[in-house]
Amino acid sequence: MAEVMTDYRALDRLLLPDENTWGQGIRPYTAAELNEIAQNVNESKQLGYGARLHADTGGYTPGQPGGRRAAVPSGFDAADHPNRAGLVPGAADPDIITEFGEPVQQVDPRLRELFIARGWVQDQHGRPLHPRHEQLLSDDRIGMVTGLGFGWWYGEAVVADAVVTTGTGHVLVVDRDTDAGRIPSLPGGYTTPSDFGRTVAQWQTGDRPVTAEGIVTGALRRTAAETGLVVPRWATPELVRGIRPVSSVHTLHAWTMTVTVRVHLPGTELPALERATSARWVPDYATVLDRMWPDHRRALLAAVE
Protein backbone atom coordinates (compact mmCIF):
# COMPACT_ATOMS: atom_id res chain seq x y z
CA MET A 1 0.00 0.00 0.00
CA ALA A 2 1.08 3.54 -0.66
CA GLU A 3 0.42 4.71 2.90
CA VAL A 4 0.30 3.29 6.39
CA MET A 5 -3.37 3.10 7.27
CA THR A 6 -4.36 4.53 10.63
CA ASP A 7 -6.54 2.75 13.18
CA TYR A 8 -10.03 4.22 12.92
CA ARG A 9 -9.97 5.49 16.53
CA ALA A 10 -6.70 7.34 15.93
CA LEU A 11 -8.06 8.61 12.62
CA ASP A 12 -11.16 9.95 14.38
CA ARG A 13 -8.93 11.91 16.74
CA LEU A 14 -6.79 13.16 13.86
CA LEU A 15 -9.77 14.41 11.85
CA LEU A 16 -11.73 15.73 14.85
CA PRO A 17 -9.22 16.42 17.65
CA ASP A 18 -11.78 18.24 19.81
CA GLU A 19 -13.97 15.58 21.41
CA ASN A 20 -16.81 18.11 21.56
CA THR A 21 -17.19 17.49 17.81
CA TRP A 22 -17.78 13.76 18.32
CA GLY A 23 -21.34 12.61 17.75
CA GLN A 24 -23.13 9.27 17.79
CA GLY A 25 -21.12 6.21 16.90
CA ILE A 26 -17.74 7.82 17.48
CA ARG A 27 -18.49 7.38 21.13
CA PRO A 28 -20.70 4.40 22.00
CA TYR A 29 -24.35 5.00 21.12
CA THR A 30 -26.45 6.31 23.99
CA ALA A 31 -29.83 4.82 24.93
CA ALA A 32 -31.57 7.77 23.26
CA GLU A 33 -29.52 7.28 20.07
CA LEU A 34 -30.35 3.58 19.99
CA ASN A 35 -34.03 4.48 20.33
CA GLU A 36 -33.73 6.81 17.34
CA ILE A 37 -31.82 4.21 15.30
CA ALA A 38 -34.48 1.59 16.06
CA GLN A 39 -37.19 3.94 14.82
CA ASN A 40 -35.22 4.81 11.67
CA VAL A 41 -34.48 1.25 10.59
CA ASN A 42 -38.05 0.09 11.20
CA GLU A 43 -39.77 3.02 9.47
CA SER A 44 -37.82 2.75 6.21
CA LYS A 45 -37.30 -0.53 4.39
CA GLN A 46 -34.72 -1.00 1.62
CA LEU A 47 -35.33 -3.09 -1.48
CA GLY A 48 -33.50 -6.39 -1.20
CA TYR A 49 -33.06 -6.07 2.55
CA GLY A 50 -34.50 -8.93 4.54
CA ALA A 51 -33.98 -10.36 8.02
CA ARG A 52 -31.62 -8.62 10.42
CA LEU A 53 -28.85 -10.47 12.23
CA HIS A 54 -28.73 -10.27 16.05
CA ALA A 55 -26.16 -11.27 18.63
CA ASP A 56 -28.26 -14.24 19.77
CA THR A 57 -28.85 -15.59 16.24
CA GLY A 58 -27.83 -19.22 15.89
CA GLY A 59 -24.47 -19.61 14.17
CA TYR A 60 -23.21 -16.14 15.09
CA THR A 61 -20.07 -15.91 17.21
CA PRO A 62 -18.14 -12.71 18.00
CA GLY A 63 -14.59 -12.01 16.83
CA GLN A 64 -11.68 -9.83 17.88
CA PRO A 65 -9.83 -7.02 16.07
CA GLY A 66 -6.83 -8.58 14.33
CA GLY A 67 -7.53 -11.93 15.98
CA ARG A 68 -10.26 -14.54 15.92
CA ARG A 69 -12.74 -13.86 13.16
CA ALA A 70 -16.45 -13.53 13.80
CA ALA A 71 -18.77 -16.18 12.37
CA VAL A 72 -21.73 -14.67 10.50
CA PRO A 73 -24.53 -17.07 9.48
CA SER A 74 -26.22 -16.94 6.10
CA GLY A 75 -29.78 -15.76 5.55
CA PHE A 76 -29.25 -12.09 6.39
CA ASP A 77 -27.64 -10.71 3.23
CA ALA A 78 -28.89 -7.52 1.61
CA ALA A 79 -29.00 -8.23 -2.11
CA ASP A 80 -30.16 -6.72 -5.41
CA HIS A 81 -30.44 -3.15 -4.19
CA PRO A 82 -31.11 -0.78 -7.13
CA ASN A 83 -28.13 1.36 -6.14
CA ARG A 84 -25.85 -1.44 -7.33
CA ALA A 85 -27.81 -2.33 -10.46
CA GLY A 86 -25.93 -1.98 -13.72
CA LEU A 87 -22.54 -1.38 -12.09
CA VAL A 88 -19.61 -1.47 -14.45
CA PRO A 89 -17.54 -4.56 -13.53
CA GLY A 90 -14.71 -3.47 -11.29
CA ALA A 91 -16.39 -0.21 -10.22
CA ALA A 92 -17.03 -1.40 -6.67
CA ASP A 93 -16.06 -4.13 -4.24
CA PRO A 94 -17.56 -7.49 -5.32
CA ASP A 95 -20.40 -8.59 -3.09
CA ILE A 96 -19.68 -11.84 -1.26
CA ILE A 97 -22.62 -14.05 -0.28
CA THR A 98 -22.40 -15.25 3.31
CA GLU A 99 -21.60 -18.96 3.61
CA PHE A 100 -19.65 -21.51 5.65
CA GLY A 101 -18.98 -23.98 2.84
CA GLU A 102 -15.41 -24.80 1.84
CA PRO A 103 -13.54 -23.10 0.41
CA VAL A 104 -14.97 -19.92 1.95
CA GLN A 105 -14.79 -17.04 -0.51
CA GLN A 106 -12.43 -14.33 0.75
CA VAL A 107 -12.22 -10.58 0.37
CA ASP A 108 -9.10 -9.43 -1.53
CA PRO A 109 -6.12 -9.94 0.84
CA ARG A 110 -5.01 -6.33 0.27
CA LEU A 111 -8.37 -5.16 1.59
CA ARG A 112 -8.09 -7.51 4.56
CA GLU A 113 -4.75 -5.87 5.40
CA LEU A 114 -6.49 -2.49 5.40
CA PHE A 115 -9.30 -3.75 7.64
CA ILE A 116 -6.78 -5.19 10.11
CA ALA A 117 -4.87 -1.89 10.15
CA ARG A 118 -8.13 -0.03 10.78
CA GLY A 119 -8.75 -2.22 13.82
CA TRP A 120 -12.05 -3.64 12.59
CA VAL A 121 -13.25 -7.13 13.49
CA GLN A 122 -13.52 -9.38 10.43
CA ASP A 123 -15.84 -12.28 9.67
CA GLN A 124 -15.09 -15.62 8.01
CA HIS A 125 -14.92 -13.93 4.59
CA GLY A 126 -12.58 -11.16 5.76
CA ARG A 127 -15.38 -8.59 5.61
CA PRO A 128 -15.12 -5.85 8.25
CA LEU A 129 -17.75 -5.39 10.94
CA HIS A 130 -19.15 -2.00 11.97
CA PRO A 131 -17.06 -0.52 14.84
CA ARG A 132 -20.13 -0.51 17.13
CA HIS A 133 -21.58 -3.78 15.87
CA GLU A 134 -21.78 -5.27 19.38
CA GLN A 135 -24.25 -2.61 20.45
CA LEU A 136 -26.29 -2.82 17.24
CA LEU A 137 -26.48 -6.62 17.15
CA SER A 138 -27.36 -6.81 20.85
CA ASP A 139 -30.39 -4.53 20.48
CA ASP A 140 -33.47 -6.61 19.68
CA ARG A 141 -35.02 -3.69 17.80
CA ILE A 142 -32.05 -3.03 15.52
CA GLY A 143 -29.69 -5.78 14.44
CA MET A 144 -27.93 -5.50 11.06
CA VAL A 145 -28.30 -6.97 7.60
CA THR A 146 -25.09 -8.36 6.07
CA GLY A 147 -23.21 -7.80 2.82
CA LEU A 148 -22.72 -4.62 0.82
CA GLY A 149 -26.37 -3.81 0.25
CA PHE A 150 -26.66 -0.17 -0.85
CA GLY A 151 -22.91 0.44 -0.58
CA TRP A 152 -20.12 0.28 -3.13
CA TRP A 153 -17.25 -0.43 -0.75
CA TYR A 154 -16.68 -2.67 2.24
CA GLY A 155 -15.93 -0.86 5.46
CA GLU A 156 -16.45 2.82 6.10
CA ALA A 157 -17.48 5.35 3.46
CA VAL A 158 -17.24 9.05 4.24
CA VAL A 159 -20.22 11.33 3.68
CA ALA A 160 -19.39 15.05 3.71
CA ASP A 161 -22.13 17.61 4.37
CA ALA A 162 -21.54 21.36 4.09
CA VAL A 163 -22.95 24.14 6.23
CA VAL A 164 -22.33 27.34 4.25
CA THR A 165 -23.09 30.61 6.04
CA THR A 166 -22.72 34.27 5.07
CA GLY A 167 -21.97 37.56 6.79
CA THR A 168 -25.68 38.37 6.59
CA GLY A 169 -26.59 35.30 8.62
CA HIS A 170 -27.95 33.29 5.69
CA VAL A 171 -27.53 29.52 5.46
CA LEU A 172 -27.44 27.50 2.24
CA VAL A 173 -30.01 24.70 1.98
CA VAL A 174 -31.13 22.31 -0.75
CA ASP A 175 -34.74 21.19 -0.90
CA ARG A 176 -35.05 17.43 -1.38
CA ASP A 177 -38.07 15.30 -2.25
CA THR A 178 -38.52 12.49 0.27
CA ASP A 179 -41.22 10.06 1.35
CA ALA A 180 -42.21 12.72 3.87
CA GLY A 181 -42.49 15.42 1.21
CA ARG A 182 -40.05 18.16 0.25
CA ILE A 183 -37.69 19.04 3.08
CA PRO A 184 -34.74 21.44 3.49
CA SER A 185 -31.38 19.71 3.77
CA LEU A 186 -27.66 20.41 3.65
CA PRO A 187 -25.70 20.08 0.42
CA GLY A 188 -23.37 17.10 0.50
CA GLY A 189 -23.12 13.38 -0.02
CA TYR A 190 -20.71 10.49 -0.48
CA THR A 191 -17.07 11.24 -1.12
CA THR A 192 -15.29 9.45 -3.98
CA PRO A 193 -11.77 8.04 -4.33
CA SER A 194 -10.81 11.06 -6.46
CA ASP A 195 -11.58 13.39 -3.54
CA PHE A 196 -8.65 11.73 -1.77
CA GLY A 197 -6.40 11.74 -4.82
CA ARG A 198 -6.98 8.09 -5.66
CA THR A 199 -8.39 6.17 -8.59
CA VAL A 200 -11.08 3.51 -8.30
CA ALA A 201 -8.42 0.91 -9.09
CA GLN A 202 -6.28 2.12 -6.18
CA TRP A 203 -9.30 2.16 -3.86
CA GLN A 204 -10.05 -1.45 -4.72
CA THR A 205 -6.57 -2.54 -3.67
CA GLY A 206 -6.92 -1.01 -0.20
CA ASP A 207 -5.19 2.30 -0.92
CA ARG A 208 -7.91 4.25 0.86
CA PRO A 209 -6.51 7.23 2.76
CA VAL A 210 -9.03 9.42 4.57
CA THR A 211 -7.88 13.00 5.13
CA ALA A 212 -9.42 16.30 6.21
CA GLU A 213 -8.44 17.77 2.84
CA GLY A 214 -10.23 14.98 0.99
CA ILE A 215 -13.36 15.38 3.11
CA VAL A 216 -13.43 19.13 2.41
CA THR A 217 -12.89 18.45 -1.30
CA GLY A 218 -15.89 16.12 -1.31
CA ALA A 219 -18.12 18.56 0.56
CA LEU A 220 -17.26 21.45 -1.78
CA ARG A 221 -17.62 19.26 -4.88
CA ARG A 222 -21.10 18.22 -3.80
CA THR A 223 -22.01 21.79 -2.91
CA ALA A 224 -21.03 23.01 -6.38
CA ALA A 225 -22.93 20.17 -8.06
CA GLU A 226 -26.10 20.70 -6.05
CA THR A 227 -26.22 24.49 -5.84
CA GLY A 228 -23.88 25.95 -8.46
CA LEU A 229 -21.91 27.67 -5.70
CA VAL A 230 -18.15 27.36 -6.14
CA VAL A 231 -16.61 28.14 -2.77
CA PRO A 232 -13.80 30.72 -3.26
CA ARG A 233 -10.20 29.79 -2.62
CA TRP A 234 -9.86 32.19 0.31
CA ALA A 235 -12.56 30.43 2.33
CA THR A 236 -11.24 28.22 5.12
CA PRO A 237 -13.54 25.23 5.56
CA GLU A 238 -13.22 23.28 8.80
CA LEU A 239 -14.50 19.96 10.12
CA VAL A 240 -16.90 20.62 12.99
CA ARG A 241 -18.73 17.35 13.62
CA GLY A 242 -18.53 13.64 12.92
CA ILE A 243 -21.00 10.79 13.45
CA ARG A 244 -21.47 7.15 12.51
CA PRO A 245 -25.18 7.12 11.82
CA VAL A 246 -27.23 3.97 11.36
CA SER A 247 -30.21 3.93 9.03
CA SER A 248 -31.94 1.36 6.87
CA VAL A 249 -29.26 1.56 4.14
CA HIS A 250 -26.31 0.64 6.34
CA THR A 251 -25.17 -2.94 6.77
CA LEU A 252 -22.92 -4.84 9.14
CA HIS A 253 -20.15 -4.68 6.52
CA ALA A 254 -20.71 -1.29 4.84
CA TRP A 255 -21.45 1.82 6.85
CA THR A 256 -20.73 5.55 6.80
CA MET A 257 -19.05 8.25 8.80
CA THR A 258 -20.73 11.59 8.16
CA VAL A 259 -18.60 14.69 8.64
CA THR A 260 -19.95 18.24 8.75
CA VAL A 261 -17.81 20.86 7.00
CA ARG A 262 -18.39 24.50 7.97
CA VAL A 263 -17.74 27.22 5.40
CA HIS A 264 -18.27 30.89 6.25
CA LEU A 265 -18.44 33.56 3.55
CA PRO A 266 -18.25 36.91 5.36
CA GLY A 267 -19.52 39.10 2.53
CA THR A 268 -22.75 41.09 2.69
CA GLU A 269 -23.90 40.10 -0.81
CA LEU A 270 -25.41 36.67 -1.28
CA PRO A 271 -23.42 34.57 -3.77
CA ALA A 272 -25.40 33.57 -6.84
CA LEU A 273 -26.82 30.04 -7.01
CA GLU A 274 -27.62 27.93 -10.06
CA ARG A 275 -31.26 28.63 -10.91
CA ALA A 276 -31.87 25.11 -12.15
CA THR A 277 -31.24 23.67 -8.68
CA SER A 278 -33.47 23.59 -5.60
CA ALA A 279 -30.85 25.46 -3.58
CA ARG A 280 -31.71 28.65 -1.71
CA TRP A 281 -30.38 30.99 0.94
CA VAL A 282 -32.34 30.93 4.21
CA PRO A 283 -32.12 34.17 6.23
CA ASP A 284 -32.92 32.49 9.56
CA TYR A 285 -31.83 28.88 10.02
CA ALA A 286 -34.28 28.44 12.92
CA THR A 287 -37.16 28.51 10.44
CA VAL A 288 -36.07 25.26 8.76
CA LEU A 289 -34.72 23.24 11.68
CA ASP A 290 -37.93 21.40 12.55
CA ARG A 291 -38.36 20.16 8.95
CA MET A 292 -34.82 18.82 8.50
CA TRP A 293 -33.60 15.27 9.00
CA PRO A 294 -32.36 14.92 12.61
CA ASP A 295 -28.75 14.38 11.48
CA HIS A 296 -28.82 17.52 9.31
CA ARG A 297 -30.46 19.51 12.09
CA ARG A 298 -27.70 18.56 14.53
CA ALA A 299 -25.02 19.22 11.92
CA LEU A 300 -26.37 22.68 11.25
CA LEU A 301 -26.53 23.51 14.92
CA ALA A 302 -22.98 22.23 15.44
CA ALA A 303 -21.76 24.60 12.73
CA VAL A 304 -23.61 27.77 13.73
CA GLU A 305 -23.76 27.64 17.52
Instruction: Give mean pLDDT, residues 225-237.
Output: 93
Instruction: Give mean pLDDT, residues 31-39.
Output: 96
**Domain 155-304 of CATH type 3.90.79.10:** yes
pTM for the predicted model, two decimal places: 0.94
- pLDDT by residue (tens digit) across 156-170? 999 999 999 999 999
- pLDDT by residue (tens digit) across 170-207? 999 999 988 778 999 999 999 999 999 999 999 999 99
Indicate the domain borders of the chain.
155-304
Which pLDDT score is estimated for 5? 61
Which pLDDT score is estimated for 101? 83
pLDDT band at 50 (very low <50, low <70, confident <90, very high): confident
- What integer best gives the mean pLDDT of the chain? 93
Which pLDDT score is estimated for 2? 44
Q: Is the pLDDT of residue 4 over 70?
A: no
Q: Is the pLDDT of residue 3 over 70?
A: no
Q: Is the pLDDT of residue 52 over 50?
A: yes
Instruction: Give mean pLDDT, residues 40-54.
Output: 90
Rounded Cα gap, residues 92 and 77, in angstroms: 17
Percent of the chain scoring above 70 in pLDDT: 98
- pLDDT by residue (tens digit) across 61-118? 999 998 899 999 999 999 888 888 877 878 899 999 999 888 889 999 999 999 999 9
